[in-house]
Structure 1
Amino acid sequence: MQAKSDIVVLADEDAARSGGTEISRQIALLKAGALQNAILTSANFSIIATDEKGIIQLFNVGAERMLGYSAAEVVNKISPSDIHDPQEVRDRAEALTIELCTTIAPGFEALAFKASREIEDIYELTYICKDGSRFPAIVSITALRDDYGTIIGYLLIGTDNSVRKRVESELNEAMAAAEKANHAKSDFLSSMSHELRTPLNAILGFAQLMESGAPAPTPTQKRNIEQILKAGWYLLELINEVLDLALIESGKLTLSNEPVSLAEVLVECRAMIEPQARQRGIGMTFSRFDVPRFINADRTRIKQVLINLLFNAVKYNRPQGRVAVECELMPPSSIRICVRDTGIGLASEQLAQLFQPFNRLGKESGSEEGTGIGLVVTKRLVELMGGTIGASSTVGEGSMFWVEFPLTQAPRLALAEAELAAAVRPALPDGMPLRTILYVEDNPANLELVEQILARRPDLRLLSAADGRMGIEYARACLPEVILMDINLPGISGIEAMKILHADASTAHIPIIALSANAVPRDIQKGLEAGFFNYITKPIVVADFIDALDAALVSAQAAAKQR
């Protein structure tokens, strides 16, 4: 049996524990009360509580400071919607009405609608102060419910959003100013390009006439004319590259990405660059593909990238050097095209300065001319098409530039079309020359149509360029038998490109056929008067197109015999 004294001790312990629990509960209540008081008296947040009808019941110190009202002026008198911008409240009601297909009144109901349906709601509205001033606020609204889930009021906690709005406004203004400046720069460069081309066209045109005129220029005059032409073509290259860079940086450059056959692109690039390599005694080797490889890229721009790398490999090579183009599969699903040369190579500090505008890496005083922009444009184009570019080099041994792109699937029906082309294209008879057709066209669908038409002709090979400037460069490099020219091209028009080619002695003899959707008789007459050999309107009538092409080929053959 337990002693009485032990029972007394236990009772004292229970009382102590009970008293301790009560003290802890009181401390917790005091802490909660202090926390609640700190929240309600915070000057940084406006805290407004309403009853279930939306009439203000609590208006804390922060709300008084922000809005200028005393609690006595608003409690039991107004709704929070009365101190919001009324137009914004109406807009919110209209937005909810459209969203829910139910009419929502433009008052406190619009502010509390989502909260009343247990949806957490945070919105931006403008508070109107007692003195009529306004400031933007971010408001969180929560429904207050009793133990049975019935709404007994709403709690609105707001904070002044003026600083963020001001920063946003300043940032938007800065971005607009930068965009405006960027557009102004692009417009200026485009305008200057046009203004520079006009006198340059006269300089190059008349210099070529003097070079080929009768009587023939004296040796001294010939050297002087060659210097004029050399400087003129260099200046034209600089204008083109600066304009290309401006278009890329301004975001105005349009790309038509599609599955592109690397084998086909490299064949076209080889045809364009090998004549220049032979003139310099540079040997070239290209890797062969066991299976077709496709990348997703703009066909014209990927050719521009590879031609620039190939031309640099030829230009900065040593006499009797070599250029090798190799393709390497990169895990997990990319392909790397490498262009290796046997030039003098680049030091590590020069490699670090690659892809900087107007930086020729110390070649400024060398015999080879350049702008220092080509690699910058190349890098931007590669990145815009989703690829990467890099380089490595060893002084005294040569350099290697590479571009890498993810592989993609062959275009739909590409294999079937290739088989069909092979089936309908007869073998080229022995002794029949393979003649080149250049098509200057920026629309991929139009280009594909002409490709399929010419696929039935074994004696024709098609090259393409996506704008007038590039078409001019391709024409000068490849000297095609016939040029097909769209009229509405990005940059310079087809008519301007045609006039430049006719003014150039090396391309003046090439028949140029206009292919255009401008089918008004006045446009056709204008094109023929401007100097086009023929004018074919789109949609193309295939028979008429083939007849016009054959007539142009006959004319080109006759012109070649007279030269």
Structure 2
Amino acid sequence: MATASRAVAGAHVALNASIGTGSLLAAGALQNAIFNSANFSIIATDDKGIIQLFNVGAERMLGYRAQEVVNRVSPSDMHDPQEVRARAEALSAELGTPIAAGFEALSFKASRGIEDIYELTYLCKDGTAFPAVVSITALRDDYGELIGYLLIGSDNSARKRAQLHLKEAVTAAERANLAKTEFLSSMSHELRTPLNAILGFAQLVASSTPVPTVAQQRSIDQILKAGWYLLELINEILDLALIESGKLIMSEEPVALSDLLSECQALVESQAVQREVGLNFVPMILPLHVKGDRTRLKQVLVNLLFNAVKYNRRAGHVDVDCTVLSPLVVRITVRDTGHGLSREQLAHLFQPFNRLGREAGIEEGTGIGLVVTQRLVHLMGGQIGVDSTLGVGSVFWVDLTLVAAPSTDHAAAWVPAGNALACAGETTRTMLYVEDNPANLALVEQIIERCPQLHLLSASDGHTGIEFARAYLPSVILMDINLPGISGIEAMRLLHADPATAHIPIIALSANAVPRDIQKGLEAGFFAYVTKPIRVAELLLTIERALAQANVAPQRPHAQAPS
């Protein structure tokens, strides 16, 4: 009993020592309030872990009366034994010391002067259970001798319920994001498939012989303009959705600014000439490299340049300059001589689908481009801003991180031949196209008809495509992804696994154009991934690259391709 009395006294001493003496403490009001608190379980034990004090809160939470547990049981008897055992095993692994389960596991750190807080499940007298947070502190006498432990516990049910609800909400949000991504991928495919026929055949008609009449060419130009604009809208909406869902894949590489700006200038020049807007790219004194995704950075700058031209005045001009702000930051500025923006318009500039009152104007747009541009810049660790004056014009600027130039020389990039499929030489080569959509097949057939060095075979499903590839050993294969039977990816894997066809370069030609679809296809082993709608020149150059590789691949005699 002397030990028990010392443990209870120790609990009082611990409280007294924390706040000193005073009239409140002298009257015992504070101790009474604490030990009679119904919101916290306060349990004091002796040095062996046997309960010596069991307050009102402990009685309320656990359902035991004090006289039922004092000098009878250990607090560990009221905890989930599996959790106590798991805690003992975790402490043993952490400290490299064998630790028995039970109260020793609960009090191990406290006995060594380490204040400990842990989460365990309390077991009540009536068989129910609830999660609790327990703080355990060692009690020592005036000589530093361990005389017991003080355990202060609180019901953790509300917090656990909140955590569970949060976890469920996060899971639901992730499922919704995944469903949205899958929907966008599917919708992109469904929209691109008819666009492929519209834009593909329009390109063929525009470059056909005899040359279209002036009236026909105007109609063709309108079809192409509307088609490419619709494709641009699809891409912008997909980009925005992917950014918001965190699914957009970005690379990080040193990008040469001078080369990138030259490419952007070439893309914008024709529109600038058409609108009588002058382009002035200030030459760079020193070569600069920035950190970013080259494709996405090009998208950012082209969008700013297109806007600067589109919303400019006739006979206006656009100036592009690069200024080094610090050893780590370069600023790219795009200055136009347009009508400028008001303070109110600037406040809403980067809001999705907000065209700043230009909905009734003649310029097409959705108000998505600048939003995507801003978020792409932020994803690359940069900043974007704008200064504008009504009646004078606007200056958009992008700050990017400067990095060192690549330290190693990479192999020279492949340079396309001057005329389509020049590397095919005089020998007729066979190309297999695996495609189940008749319009897409007819389009590629007409494209390949312009290449006398190529003979085209076609298959309408993956299994037939594999049989044709094994029988005729084509020099190159175009493979759709969504095929009946087996997918284009699976067909490609089977062909690569076959020694007879493993050397054949296979190009994915698909309307699955979401970045993760492209990455998945390239990682699976496609030679290249071309998206629909087809850009005829891009497809021909990709085929030429594949044929160049096929020239150095091993060949063996094969069956005569059907005519």
Tell me, yes or no, if structure 1 residue 51 matches structure 2 residue 60.
no
Tell me, yes or no, if structure 1 residue 106 matches structure 2 residue 85.
no
Comparing 332-341 with 510-519, greater Cα deviation is found at 510-519
CA RMSD of the aligned region, Å?
4.1
Tell me, yes or no, if structure 1 residue 74 matches structure 2 residue 33.
no
Query: What is the deviation of 1:323?
Result: 1.0
Distance 1:240 1:287, change over 3 A: same
Equivalence map 1:200-279=2 (5 Å): 200-211=195-206, 223-279=218-274
Contact 1:51 1:153 in 2 (8 A): yes
Residue 352 of structure 1 corresponds to which residue in structure 2?
Answer: 347
Contact 1:536 1:545 in 2 (8 A): no
Unaligned runs of 5+ in 1: 1-24, 418-448, 463-478, 485-493, 539-543, 552-563
Distance 1:91 1:274, change over 3 A: same
Distance 1:483 1:405, change over 3 A: farther
Which has more radius of gyration? 1
Query: What is the deviation of 1:482?
Result: 8.3
Contact 2:312 2:338 in 1 (8 A): yes
Query: What is the deviation of 1:26?
Result: 9.8
Contact 1:495 1:527 in 2 (8 A): no
Comparing 130-139 with 201-210, greater Cα deviation is found at 201-210
Equivalence map 1:155-554=2 (5 Å): 155-211=150-206, 223-331=218-326, 333-411=328-406, 413=407, 417=409, 449=410, 452-454=411-413, 522=501, 525=504, 527=506, 548=548
- What residue identity is the alignment partner of 2:173? A
Distance 1:229 1:291, change over 3 A: closer
Query: What is the deviation of 1:293?
Result: 2.5
Aligned with 1:33 (options 28, 36, 43): 28
Query: What is the deviation of 1:38?
Result: 1.8
TM-score (norm 1): 0.71
SS of residue in 1 equivalent to 2:225: helix
- What residue identity is the alignment partner of 1:62? G
Give the distance between the partners of 2:183 and 2:287, measured in 1 at CA: 44
Contact 2:477 2:506 in 1 (8 A): yes
Contact 1:205 1:504 in 2 (8 A): no
Distance 1:536 1:246, change over 3 A: closer
Residue 464 of structure 2 corresponds to which residue in structure 1?
Answer: none
Q: Which gives a bigger RCO, structure 1 or 2 (Cα 8 Å, sep 6+)?
A: 2
State percent identity of aligned pairs. Answer: 61
Give the distance between the partners of 1:237 and 1:504, measured in 2 at CA: 26
Distance 1:210 1:365, change over 3 A: farther
Query: What is the deviation of 1:172?
Result: 2.0
Distance 1:71 1:207, change over 3 A: same
Residue 522 of structure 2 corresponds to which residue in structure 1?
Answer: none
- What residue identity is the alignment partner of 1:49? A
Residues 21-47 of structure 1 show CA distances to partners (whole Å, capped at 9, x for unaligned) of xxxx99759626332222111111100
Comparing 59-68 with 514-523, greater Cα deviation is found at 514-523
Residue 90 of structure 1 corresponds to which residue in structure 2?
Answer: 85
Query: What is the deviation of 1:505?
Result: 9.9
Contact 2:505 2:527 in 1 (8 A): no
Contact 1:358 1:372 in 2 (8 A): yes
Give the distance between the partners of 1:58 and 1:345, measured in 2 at CA: 77
Tell me, yes or no, if structure 1 residue 142 matches structure 2 residue 155.
no
- What residue identity is the alignment partner of 1:293? L
Distance 1:29 1:310, change over 3 A: closer
Distance 1:29 1:364, change over 3 A: closer
Unaligned runs of 5+ in 2: 1-19, 424-433, 455-474, 479-488, 511-524, 529-543, 552-563
Distance 1:41 1:480, change over 3 A: farther
- What residue identity is the alignment partner of 1:236? L
Give the distance between the partners of 2:54 and 2:295, measured in 1 at CA: 68
Query: What is the deviation of 1:345?
Result: 2.0
Give the distance between the partners of 2:132 and 2:52, measured in 1 at CA: 20
Contact 1:56 1:77 in 2 (8 A): yes
| Count of matched residue positions in the alignment of Structure 1 and Structure 2 | 453
- What residue identity is the alignment partner of 1:527? I
Contact 1:392 1:401 in 2 (8 A): yes
Equivalence map 1:3-42=2 (5 Å): 28=23, 31=26, 33-42=28-37
Distance 1:172 1:508, change over 3 A: farther
SS of residue in 1 equivalent to 2:391: coil
SS of residue in 2 equivalent to 1:192: helix
Residues 428-474 of structure 1 show CA distances to partners (whole Å, capped at 9, x for unaligned) of xxxxxxxxxxxxxxxxxxxxx4xx324xx9xx599xxxxxxxxxxxx
Query: What is the deviation of 1:291?
Result: 2.6
TM-score (norm 2): 0.71
Distance 1:197 1:508, change over 3 A: farther
SS of residue in 1 equivalent to 2:76: helix
Distance 1:116 1:483, change over 3 A: farther
- What residue identity is the alignment partner of 1:266? L
Distance 1:503 1:396, change over 3 A: farther
Give the distance between the partners of 2:346 and 2:34, measured in 1 at CA: 61
Residue 3 of structure 1 corresponds to which residue in structure 2?
Answer: none
